[in-house]
Amino acid sequence: MCAVSLGVAIGALSFAGSAMSAVGQHQAQQAAVARSNAIAQQQYQQELQIAAMRDSEAGRAYQAQLKSATAAKNAYYAQISANQTEATRALSAETQKLAEARTTAAFQQQENIANIVKSQGAVLASGKAGQSFLMQAMDAERQFGFEQAQIEQTLYDASRASGIAKEGILLDQSAANMAAWNNLPADPLSPQASLLPVQPIMATGPSSLALAGNLVSSGASAYSTGYQLDNP
């Protein structure tokens, strides 16, 4: 009776020890898996926050670039307007200068006509005739033609100079417009969203069936140990 009790007791103790070991191992595996999953989830959340902060910073930088580009374009259009105003003023000044030259020439022509009429009248009033009279008349006409040619050449030169000056004004305007265009910054590119981190796959803990199997195996081993002690 004592031998049976000893075998049962030893078997029970063996089962208890094996069961406790199996349960402890099962719980340790569960804790390790849970800790690994928690770390993976925390890292994933941190990566999400970093991506969100990066996108937010890129968005603020993009808005600042947009404001700067808008200000640059406004300055460009203002410069183009100023260039046009200056070119118009300079062209008007050249036109006025040429108009004044033409007015001066017109008055000079009228004065020349008056002078030749006066000169011819004086010759006629002298009562002279013959070759001397003819020479005086022709001399007055030559002088009138010479003076008229001078006036026409002066007008031609003034008109040519005015055309060259106006062409220079337009070229300067074009160069100023091109310089203003070259100073424009490139339009900012809208930022692309950051690539999201890959969501971690959670590891699964040890199976409860495995624990049950270990307990059954422990029970069988304990029974075998007790049986062998009871039946030497």
Query: Would residue 63 count as lying in a domain?
Result: yes
Query: Would residue 102 count as lying in a domain?
Result: yes
Query: Would residue 12 count as lying in a domain?
Result: yes
pTM equals: 0.56
Query: Would residue 158 count as lying in a domain?
Result: yes
d(CA 178, CA 76): 10
Query: Would residue 111 count as lying in a domain?
Result: yes
Q: Which two tokens stand for residue 171?
A: 């070229």
**For residue 23, is pLDDT > 90?**
no
User: How are the residues of the chain apportioned to helix, strand and coil, as percentages rounded to the nearest 5?
Assistant: 85, 0, 15
* Domain encompassing residue 13: 2-184
Query: Would residue 173 count as lying in a domain?
Result: yes
Euclidean distance between the first and final Cα of the chain, in Å? Answer: 14
Per-residue pLDDT band for 192 (boundaries 50, 70, 90) equals confident
**For residue 169, is pLDDT > 70?**
yes
pLDDT of residue 91: 94
Per-residue pLDDT band for 194 (boundaries 50, 70, 90) equals confident
Q: How wide is the angle at C-alpha 129 spanned by C-alphas 124 and 132, nearest 5°? A: 100
Q: How many domains does the chain have?
A: 1
Per-residue pLDDT band for 181 (boundaries 50, 70, 90) equals very high
